[in-house]
């Protein structure tokens, strides 16, 4: 296989169609920079399925379309066709020539063609898989790919070796197998889940079904027996009711007679009871009056004795009080006499004292100027002088003491002031600290409260977000499940559609042959070529009938070929619709206008489907003369309007045929070709919408999860902050309490100091006053001392003259004074005695007044409150007469009452006997009525039971009733059946059917589970086999390439060494590959430290090593040798020539050595700005170039 031709139009700079014919060997594409030669390799990569615009050096896929130039307009599409020679059938394709075409439009639409037949990208990918020609294969190395190979991670580098080893298809199969395994696991999980649910339902359902069967059996037996017993009981009740009615009539007549007699006696007893009541009332009143009279008699008798006793006591008391009064009066008179005597004595003593005072006065006047007086005055003056001196000393001492106390008070005041200042400062500090702490405490409390509120709010928010997260997660899981269900359904429908399930055998074979390329000109079945809205699918399917499976062909020739093919293959029959001969069938416009006026008209059938314009004649042929109506009645009316010349189809699928016949009824529900296609399209749309919804849900879940984490972090942080704030608040509160204690203590000390200061101030003011008084006193004393001193000197002179004359008078005066003192003492004694007598006299007089008042009171009480003995006797006699009269009346009335009571007793005994007998009749009547009611109730109850339980009248039940041979046995059996049914409890009668259905489903799912387990095991085994195969292939290929790489590296570098190293030899399926290179004359070093040329040559060595082991049909290289020097370019060119025997090379180059080694040379030029053109030269036809190349070799 080799690359024959590349056709390009509209791709990048190729505005016009160009064709490059490739021959085996080396083809070089050359041209100046910017001419578009690298676009050739981009075109090959693109047509092989490259989906990355970036890999094609663009931003988006539309960038590959020719964008226009100064002189050319942009093109609307780009197209590349790659033609391969497949004579050796290296590609699994039954053609010797394979063309692959890719086309893209500016609208974004694109298409792939394989040998001019539309196909999928997957078909192309599968075609070239493991052929070495894939878009990611090592056979296409574009600019920068060399560095990419060398600089890529070891894990990414293994893809080249996997392509060379041919394990990509196994990896893809493994991926599919793993995907199927996941689906199998999911299906198995769902099946196991359903089985678990069914297992949990089966056992109770089995019990319920068994109970239901028992219930049905027992209920049937109970019904037969119960009806027989009910009929039997109804007959017995009817007989009992008749006998009870006769008995009631007889009892009622007897009862009425006795009731009349009882009524007469009751009237007599009522009269007597009335009379007795009147007697009782009278006796009660009279008895009360009698008791009252008796009590009055006794009261007056007692009062008479009491009054006599009272009079005696009062008399005795008056006698005692008069005696006491006389004694008190005598005492008063005696005291008055004594008082008079003392007063007279006091008067006498007073006169004597007055006379003595007068005598003493005269003597003192006589002694006024006597010597003794002068001496006395001198002595007194001296004494006063001494006293004044003493007083002066005392005052001076006091003044000194006052000054000392003032100094102490001032010192104390200073000390107290300092102490007060210190306490004030300390108190101010405490108050300031307290104020700050109170503010801080308030702030902390508010902040703590705020944190608590935030915490509670966040808790609520956390709960809401958690609920929202769970809800959204549940919604996401449900969306996943729904997606799996839709995918499973879509895959099923897609497989059905791919297998043409539902088509007739012949139609299916033709369509399959078309897809295989065995039949040409087959455009598809009608059902494939038209699309129908779901609500019209029933009508269109009915209108088309079997025509929905007619096959549309390009012309009749292809139809004939298909018919011949069916005959040869014996593959059935089919109807073909050649587009060249099928004609449209339309209803006349006037008829359509007539039909549209009917309200049941929907549309013409061909207007309800969508299709390509090329197929219009086919659609109009099949549906152009079919009318769609909303109902069968409307369809009949429209058909009548049209003269029954055309078919009218309803939305439900009923038909009014041409000619007037009707077709309709219930249709079996099954998936039609149209509904399947519509459902598949709908599923695709739903899946796309669901994927978007899932993406949104995933984003929402992720957002909610982040919110949840953030909120939890916030809650935790708030909790920590709250704990810290609570500790701070407690510490602040404790400190505030300490400060408050200190404040109270200091306040008390301040108050005490203030009081002390005030006391000091008061004492200081008192001391100052005392000091001032003492100072004034000292001044006065100094003056007094001076005056006394002068008086003493004068008196001393007078004394000497008068001493002798005064001695006699002094003695007389002393004697008189002594007498005066005695007399004054006697007068004092008399005054005291007189005062005492006055007090005693007052007490005696008060006693006389008290006794007199008591006598007056006693005399007044006796005169107003005591009756005479005659009055009391009169009252007693009156009440005794009243009492005796009442007693006689009571005796008479009692005798009359006894007679009436005896008569009443006789009547009551008669009445009691009659009532007893009457009561017996009444009880018999009530018993009869009760029995009749009970029997009637039983009859009604039995009838209701028949009606409600069995929907039977008595007559119908009597006809169905079984004959009763053993009533007792049958009743016991009924009780037993009822008890058994009751013990069953609530019975689910549908459980029998449900159990069978669930059991059947359980059996089916059990088989499915076994199938899934087997499939699971098969997939595991297949994956294991693929792993083993990939490991073996990769191992063999890697070690072979490794050996080749060592050799080719030495050949290209002329020495040195290189190696390929597995990073994880134990894990060959995932291990990375490291490249080690040591050019000649250098140490082993990292690839990144090699020069550009050495790196390029190393990559080329790796390429040729792979080609040695896994030759590919062709290889495209884009300036891989650009970094090589001339000598290495020659080596590179020689290697190309060497490998060109097995591999076709297309090289993009501008190196002379490479050009000279090429067999065909294509030049890419840009003569017109922005437009690339092609020039080709076969070097073998150019002698000069051939000679130069020969010399070069």
pLDDT tens digits, residue range 997-1032? Answer: 888 888 888 888 888 888 888 888 888 888 888 888
Using an 8 Å Cβ cutoff, are 1077 and 1091 in contact? no
Q: What is the mean pLDDT of residues 733-743?
A: 75
In this structure, of 685-689, 861-865, 887-891, 1113-1117, the range with the lowest mean pLDDT score is: 861-865
Residue 1183 has pLDDT above 60, yes or no: no
Contact 44, 82 (CB under 8 A): yes
For the chain, report the end-to-end CA distance as a whole number of angstroms.
28
**Which of 53-57, 402-406, 476-480, 524-528 has the highest mean predicted lDDT (pLDDT)?**
524-528
Q: H-helix or E-strand containing 600?
A: none
Task: Give the pLDDT band of residue 1193 (cuts 50, 70, 90).
Answer: very low
Q: At what angle do helices 807-865 and 168-366 cross, to 10 degrees?
A: 120
Q: What is the pLDDT of residue 670?
A: 46
Statement: residue 436 has pLDDT above 80 = yes
Q: For residue 552, what pLDDT is reported?
A: 94
CB-side neighbour CA atoms (13 Å) of 1148: 24
Mean pLDDT of 850-873: 60
* Across 72-97, average pLDDT: 85
> Predicted confidence band at 867 (pLDDT cuts at 50, 70, 90)?
low
Contacts of 221 (CB under 8 A, 6+ apart): 973, 977
The DSSP H or E segment spanning 7 is: strand 2-9
Provide long-range contacts, Cβ within 8 A and 24+ apart, for 1030-1034: 1030/165, 1030/167, 1030/170, 1030/171, 1030/174, 1030/1069, 1031/1068, 1031/1069, 1033/165, 1033/166, 1033/167, 1033/170, 1034/161, 1034/162, 1034/165, 1034/167, 1034/1068, 1034/1069
Instruction: List, in order of start, the domains of the chain with CATH numbers.
Output: 1-139+1114-1193 (3.40.50.300), 506-679 (3.30.70.1620)
Averaged pLDDT for residues 968-983? 79
User: What whole-number distance in Å separates Cα of residue 778 and Cα of residue 162?
Assistant: 138
Contact 27, 2 (CB under 8 A): no
Task: Give the residue among 653, 792, 696, 722 at the shortest CA–CA distance from 472.
Answer: 696
Q: Using CA atoms, how far apart are residues 599 and 634, in angstroms rounded to an integer? A: 8
Please state at what angle helix 673-802 crosses helix 537-544, rounded to 10 degrees.
170
- Residue 103: predicted pLDDT: 92
Of 72-86, 462-476, 808-822, 965-979, minimum mean pLDDT range: 808-822
733: left (phi over 0), alpha (psi -120 to 50) or beta: alpha
Confidence of residue 1177 (pLDDT cuts 50, 70, 90): low
Collect all residues with Cβ–Cβ distance below 8 Å to 267 and sequence separation of at least 6: none
Return the pLDDT at 869.
65
Residue 797 has pLDDT above 70, yes or no: no
Q: Check whether 781 has a pLDDT greater than 60.
A: yes
Give Cα 160 to chain centroid, integer Å: 55
* Confidence at residue 1023, expressed as pLDDT on a 0 to 100 scale: 87
| Residue-level pLDDT at 649 | 94
Tell me the pLDDT tens digit for each residue of 492-545: 677 667 767 667 778 888 888 888 888 899 999 998 888 888 788 888 888 888
State the average pLDDT over residues 617-625: 90
CA atoms within 13 A on the CB side of 633: 1
Contact 23, 1160 (CB under 8 A): yes
The answer to whether residue 358 scores a pLDDT higher than 90 is no
Is the CA virtual torsion 320, 321, 324, 326 positive or negative? negative
- Does residue 810 carry a pLDDT above 80? no
**CA separation for the pair 654, 662 (Å, rounded):** 8
Helix (H) or strand (E) holding 1005: helix 991-1053
| pLDDT score for 225 | 83
pLDDT at 394: 77
* Residue whose C-alpha is closest to residue 1106's, from 132, 74, 366, 51: 132
Q: Which two tokens stand for residue 338?
A: 């004594």
Q: CA dist 1157 to 924, 1104, 1193, Å?
A: 141, 16, 9
1185 band by pLDDT with thresholds 50, 70 and 90: very low
Q: What is the mean pLDDT of residues 1143-1170?
A: 86
- Grade residue 904 by pLDDT with cuts at 50, 70 and 90: confident
DSSP 75: P
H helices of 499-530, in order, are 505-516, 526-529
pLDDT interval class at 861 (50, 70, 90): very low
| pLDDT level of residue 1189 (50, 70, 90 thresholds) | very low
pLDDT-derived band of residue 488, with 50, 70 and 90 as boundaries? Answer: low
Place of tokens 């690359």: 3
Which three-class secondary structure state does DSSP give residue 535?
helix
Report how far residue 492's alpha carbon sits from residue 485's, in angstroms, rounded to the nearest whole number: 10
Determine the pLDDT at residue 197: 74
State both tokens at 24. 């085996």
Tell me which of 370 and 926 has the higher pLDDT: 926
Total number of residues shown for the chain: 1193
pLDDT number for residue 1084: 66
Tell whether the torsion through CA atoms of 1024, 1026, 1031 and 1036 is positive or negative.
Answer: positive
Question: Which value, in Å, is the radius of gyration of the alpha carbons in the chain?
Answer: 73
Ranges 206-215, 519-528, 906-915, 929-938: which has the least confidence: 929-938
Q: Is the model more confident about 670 or about 833?
A: 833
Which of 95-109, 391-405, 883-897, 1132-1146 is most confident? Answer: 95-109
- pLDDT tens-place string over residues 545-569: 878 889 999 999 999 999 999 888 8
Residue 363 pLDDT exceeds 90:
no
Q: Distance (Å, rounded) from C-alpha 838 to C-alpha 836?
A: 5
Residues 772-811: b if buried by 16+ CB within 10 A, e if exposed: eebeebbeebeebbeebeebbeebeebbeebeeebeebbe
pLDDT band at 799 (very low <50, low <70, confident <90, very high): low
**d(C-alpha 409, C-alpha 413), whole Å:** 6
Average pLDDT over residues 216-235: 83
Whole-number Å distance between alpha carbons of 995 and 837: 135
Q: How confident is the model at residue 1181, as a pLDDT?
A: 46
Q: Could you please report the per-residue DSSP string of 890-917?
A: HHHHHHHHHHHHHHHHHHHHHHHHHHHH
pLDDT, position 731: 79
**pLDDT tier, 79 (very low <50, low <70, confident <90, very high otherwise):** very high
Q: pLDDT above 90 covers what percent of the chain?
A: 5
Residues 6+ apart with CB under 8 A from 982: none
pLDDT mean over 226-238: 85
Residue 480 has pLDDT above 50, yes or no: yes
**Chain mean pLDDT for the chain:** 79
Residue (of 987, 962, 960, 959) closest to 973 by Cα position: 962
Tell me: pLDDT of 178 over 50. yes
């Amino acid at each position: 296989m080799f690359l024959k031709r590349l056709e390009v139009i509209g791709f990048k700079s190729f505005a016009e169609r160009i064709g490059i014919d490739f021959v085996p060997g080396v083809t070089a594409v050359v041209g100046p920079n910017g001419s578009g030669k690298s676009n050739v390799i981009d075109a090959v990569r693109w047509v092989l399925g490259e989906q990355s615009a970036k890999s094609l050096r663009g931003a988006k896929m539309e960038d590959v379309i020719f964008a226009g130039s100064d002189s050319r307009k942009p093109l609307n599409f780009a197209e590349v066709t790659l033609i391969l020679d497949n004579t050796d059938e290296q590609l699994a394709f039954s053609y010797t020539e394979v063309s692959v075409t890719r086309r893209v439009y500016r609208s974004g639409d694109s298409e792939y063609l394989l040998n001019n037949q539309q196909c999928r990208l997957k078909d192309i990918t599968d075609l070239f898989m493991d052929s070495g020609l894939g878009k990611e294969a090592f056979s296409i190395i574009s600019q920068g790919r060399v560095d990419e190979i060398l600089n890529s991670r070891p894990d990414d580098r293994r893809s080249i070796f996997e392509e060379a080893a041919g394990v990509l298809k196994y990896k893809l199969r493994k991926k599919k197998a793993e995907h199927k395994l996941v689906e199998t696991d999911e299906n198995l999980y769902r099946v196991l889940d359903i089985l678990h649910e069914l297992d949990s339902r089966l056992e109770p359902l089995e019990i319920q079904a068994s109970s239901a069967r028992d219930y049905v059996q027992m209920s049937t037996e109970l019904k037969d027996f119960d009806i027989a017993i009910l009929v039997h009981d109804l007959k017995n009740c009817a007989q009992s009711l008749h006998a009870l009615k006769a008995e009631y009539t007889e009892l009622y007549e007897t009862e009425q007679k006795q009731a009349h007699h009882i009524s007469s006696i009751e009237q007599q007893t009522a009269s007597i009871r009335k009379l007795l009541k009147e007697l009782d009332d009278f006796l009660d009143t009279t008895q009360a009056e009698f008791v009252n009279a008796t009590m009055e008699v006794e009261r007056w008798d007692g009062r008479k004795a009491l009054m006599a006793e009272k009079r005696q006591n009062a008399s005795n008391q008056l006698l005692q009080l008069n005696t006491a009064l006389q004694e008190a009066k005598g005492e008063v008179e005696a005291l008055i006499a004594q008082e008079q005597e003392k007063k007279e004595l006091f008067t006498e003593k007073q006169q004597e004292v007055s006379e003595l005072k007068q005598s003493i006065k005269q003597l003192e006047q006589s002694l006024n100027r006597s010597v003794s007086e002068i001496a006395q005055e001198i002595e007194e003056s001296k004494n006063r002088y001494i006293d004044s001196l003493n007083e002066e000393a005392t005052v001076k001492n006091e003044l000194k003491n006052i000054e000392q106390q003032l100094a102490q008070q001032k010192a104390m005041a200073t000390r107290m002031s300092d102490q007060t200042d210190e306490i004030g400062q300390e108190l101010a500090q405490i108050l300031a600290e307290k104020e700050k702490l109170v503010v801080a405490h308030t702030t902390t409390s508010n902040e703590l409260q705020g944190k608590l509120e935030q915490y509670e709010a966040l808790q609520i928010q956390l709960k809401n977000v958690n609920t929202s997260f769970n809800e959204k997660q549940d919604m996401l899981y449900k969306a996943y499940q729904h997606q799996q269900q839709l995918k499973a359904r879509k895959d099923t429908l897609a497989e059905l559609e791919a297998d043409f399930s539902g088509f007739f055998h012949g139609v299916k074979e033709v369509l399959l042959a078309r897809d295989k390329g065995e039949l040409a000109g087959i455009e598809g079945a009608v059902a494939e070529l038209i699309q129908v809205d779901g609500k019209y699918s029933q009508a269109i399917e009915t209108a088309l009938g079997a025509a929905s499976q007619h096959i549309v062909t390009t012309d009749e020739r292809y139809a004939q070929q298909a018919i011949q093919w069916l005959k040869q293959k014996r593959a059935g029959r089919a109807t073909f619709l050649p587009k060249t001969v099928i004609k449209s069938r339309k209803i006349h416009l006037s008829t359509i206008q007539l039909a549209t006026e009917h309200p049941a008209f929907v549309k013409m059938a061909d207007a309800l489907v969508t299709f390509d314009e090329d197929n219009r004649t086919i659609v109009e042929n099949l549906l152009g003369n079919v009318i769609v109506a909303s109902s069968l009645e409307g369809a009949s009316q429209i058909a009548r309007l049209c003269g029954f010349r055309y078919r009218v189809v309803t939305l439900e699928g009923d038909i009014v045929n041409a000619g007037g016949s009707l077709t309709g009824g219930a249709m079996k529900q099954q998936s039609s070709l149209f509904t399947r296609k519509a459902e598949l399209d709908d599923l695709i749309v739903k899946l796309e919408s669901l994927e978007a919804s899932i993406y949104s849900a995933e984003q929402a879940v992720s957002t909610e999860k982040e919110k949840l984490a953030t909120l939890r972090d916030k809650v935790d942080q708030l909790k920590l902050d709250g704990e810290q704030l609570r500790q701070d608040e407690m510490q602040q509160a404790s400190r505030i309490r300490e400060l408050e204690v200190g404040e109270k203590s200091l306040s008390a000390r301040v108050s005490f100091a203030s009081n002390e200061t005030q006391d000091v101030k008061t004492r200081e003011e008192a001391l100052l006053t005392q000091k001032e008084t003492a100072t004034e006193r000292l001044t006065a004393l100094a003056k007094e001392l001076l005056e006394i001193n002068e008086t003493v000197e004068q008196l001393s002179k007078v004394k000497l003259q008068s001493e002798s004359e005064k001695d006699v008078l002094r003695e007389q005066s002393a004697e008189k004074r002594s007498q005066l003192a005695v007399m004054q003492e006697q007068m004092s004694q008399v005054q005291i005695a007189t005062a005492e007598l006055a007090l005693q006299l007052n007490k005696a007089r008060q006693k006389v007044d008290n006794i007199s008042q008591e006598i007056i009171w006693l005399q007044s009480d006796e005169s107003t409150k005591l009756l005479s003995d005659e009055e009391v006797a009169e009252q007693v006699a009156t009440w005794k007469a009243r009492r005796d009269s009442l007693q006689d009346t009571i005796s008479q009335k009692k005798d009359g009452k006894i007679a009436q009571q005896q008569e009443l007793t006789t009547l009551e005994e008669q009445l009691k006997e009659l009532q007893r007998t009457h009561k017996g009749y009444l009880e018999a009547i009530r018993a009869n009525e009760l029995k009749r009611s009970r029997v009637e109730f039983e009859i009604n109850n039995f009838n209701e039971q028949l009606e409600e339980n069995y929907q039977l009248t008595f007559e119908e039940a009597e006809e169905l009733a079984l004959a009763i041979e053993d009533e007792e046995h049958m009743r016991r059996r009924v009780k037993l059946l009822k008890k058994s049914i009751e013990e069953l409890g609530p019975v689910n009668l549908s459980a029998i059917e449900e159990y069978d259905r669930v059991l059947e489903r359980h059996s089916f799912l059990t088989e499915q589970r076994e199938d899934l387990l087997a499939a699971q095991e098969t997939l595991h085994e297949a994956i294991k086999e693929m792993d083993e195969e990939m490991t073996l292939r990769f191992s063999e290929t890697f070690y072979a390439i490794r050996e080749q790489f060592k050799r080719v590296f030495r050949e290209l570098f002329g020495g040195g060494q290189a190696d390929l190293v597995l990073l994880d030899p134990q894990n060959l399926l995932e291990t990375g590959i490291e490249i080690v290179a040591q050019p000649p004359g250098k140490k082993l070093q990292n690839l990144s430290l090699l020069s550009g040329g050495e790196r390029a040559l190393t990559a080329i060595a790796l390429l040729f090593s792979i080609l040695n082991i896994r030759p590919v049909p062709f290889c495209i290289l884009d300036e891989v040798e650009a970094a090589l020097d001339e000598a290495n370019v020659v080596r590179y060119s020689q290697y190309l020539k060497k490998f060109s025997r097995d591999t076709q090379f297309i090289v993009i180059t501008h190196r002379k050595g490479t050009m000279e080694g090429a067999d065909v040379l294509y030049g890419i030029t840009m003569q017109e700005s922005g437009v690339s053109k092609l020039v080709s030269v076969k070097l073998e036809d150019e002698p000069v170039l051939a000679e130069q190349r020969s010399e070069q070799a």
